[in-house]
Amino acid sequence: MADPVFPHQFSRAGNTTHTGEVFSIPQEEQLAYGTAGFRFRAEKLPFIVFRCAYVASLRARQLDSAIGVMITASHNPAADNGVKLVDPSGDMLSQQWEKYATEIVNATDEDLPSAVRALEKQMSQVEKSRISSGQTKNARVVCGMDTRISGPHLMSAARAGSALFNVQFVDVGIVTTPMLHYTVKSFNEPEFAEPTNQGYYRAISSAFRELYGITQEPEGSRYQPHVIVDCANGVGAPRLREFLEHIPRDMLEIELRNERGELNHDCGADFVKISQKMPTEFRNSEEGKEGKCVSFDGDADRILYFRGKGAESGDSESVELFDGDRIAVLFAMYLKEQLDEFAAIKTNYRLTMGIIQTAYANGASTRFIRDSLKIETVIVPTGVKHLHEAASEFDVGIYFEANGHGTVVFSEQFNSAIRRAPSSIMCIRRLALFSRVINETVGDAFADLMAIEMCLRHFGWSMDDWNQKLYSDVPNIQIKVPVDDRSIFKTTNAEQTLLKPDGIQKRIDEDVAKFKSSRAFIRPSGTENIVRIYAEADTVENTLLLGKSLEQVVLSIRSA
């Protein structure tokens, strides 16, 4: 096979942006496939997306399957964009192929054909034979994008990259990241769902409506079915409106805000989590302690609940967060109740359940899970791929990052025991339907919203109940510090201990020792040249002091 011809406008030297400008990428600048793929200022992305789509097309031919390409920068500012690849099951790209993608993106324009040939050699003889004989009728690249202005140009780059191998290109347009994951899986497993937006909406909403129908609120229920959603001015707004056409308003009443402003600006899950303040278009006077508010991120794969602290607090901006930790615990309580009933009936089955967290999990949540719920917890490095992999070791694996990105995954043994079992037993029926409401492929703000509301209705809980019946968060803070080179920061122990630069962990330990019930760590971002600081302590004042002290530690390294 002759070497493919690579368009100049998608090369390092001739990288043409959506504004028509040429933005060259110096060869000495090496790019890495991070925890969320490649993510940079949009002007760097055309040649990266082009090459990633080429890798996706090769992967699609290798497996004779649909492979996903999602163009998004999630919670980043509107000027950024990014690209990540999705494997046939709807999961993140395999780690081996992350390595291949990095190698292809970093190849010089002159060396790219030989780098491509080297990658092709990694395929087995069976795969090569299938490709050469044309037995790749299911191979396709399925591409979606969020609402950023650079999206259409990058979609063109993806189309051009996949065309090099004559792989079918499916442009699904403006979708949430979870919808793209769900659609990829649906292409490869037709029995899962129809691979369209409407197929996604119908699959999740029908399970929700059926579960709603068998869920009886307990006597004295304080549950309120009204939710106000901060859409982060992103793709969540138009797609959620379509989704809600399938949810009767007498089941759930949802009000949308932040639909058409600047993407992620003073709104969205990342803003609410980091600043712990009301997003724009929300006011404490309107959505105080009686309100139930939700925040998505720009591509709607994160969800956080929040409410105002109330007029009596004297603070019109600060919020009380119900983050990924509290969502994970809520799911765990609901699922454990059903699994305990199931175990009492089917004593021959022993389904395991675990909760996967990162170092960002609030210490109070981890203690509650272990001591009160008696459920196994596992701490892994930041990044969905690490959480998803660890969760897959359980029959019911719940994973959430504190930032609100998470889901529940279910094993084949769960499928055999629950999904394929007679549904006349109520706990089995609840488990089967809950597992269909959830989007197993990735964290999904829409699906998680439906599941959270169903759990709250099942328990008859108000926001007060959800807050008071679990645990009290330890005060915590997150700080971002820009650095010139994040690669000098090396961690271990699920990113909770800093190995490099030398001596910094000792300084962290000394600062932590000054405060009661304190914990802190410093880690580099997986996508940006910043260092992230996390700190918690017994009081808000001490937490702020600890965080600021560690910020000075990082600044001293940067200025050295």
Question: Residues comprising the binding site?
Answer: 74, 297, 299, 301, 401-403, 523-527, 532
Residues in Cβ contact with 285 at an 8 Å cutoff, skipping those fewer than 6 apart: 308, 311, 316
C-alpha–C-alpha distance, residues 167 and 144, integer Å: 16
Q: Is 156 helix (H, G, I), strand (E, B) or coil?
A: helix
Structure letter (DSSP) for residue 417 = I
Instruction: Classify strands 140-145 and 226-230 as parallel, antiparallel or unpaired.
Output: unpaired
Which residue pairs from 76-79 have beta carbons closer than 8 angstroms and sit at least 24 positions apart in sequence?
A: 76/39, 76/264, 76/298, 77/263, 77/264, 77/265, 78/148, 78/149, 78/262, 78/263, 78/264, 78/265, 79/41, 79/42
Strand partners, 521: 534
Numbered residues of the known binding site for substrate: 401-403, 523-527, 532
Structure tokens at 428: 């089995």
C-alpha–C-alpha distance, residues 408 and 386, integer Å: 14
List, by residue number, the catalytic residues. Answer: 74
C-alpha–C-alpha distance, residues 164 and 166, integer Å: 6
456, amino acid identity = L
471, amino acid identity = Y
Residue pair 338/410 in contact (Cβ under 8 Å)? The answer is no
Strand partners, 523: 532
Sign (positive or negative) of CA dihedral 535, 315, 404, 83: negative
Q: By C-alpha distance, which of 37, 49, 3 is closest to 164?
A: 3
Residue pair 9/16 in contact (Cβ under 8 Å)? The answer is yes
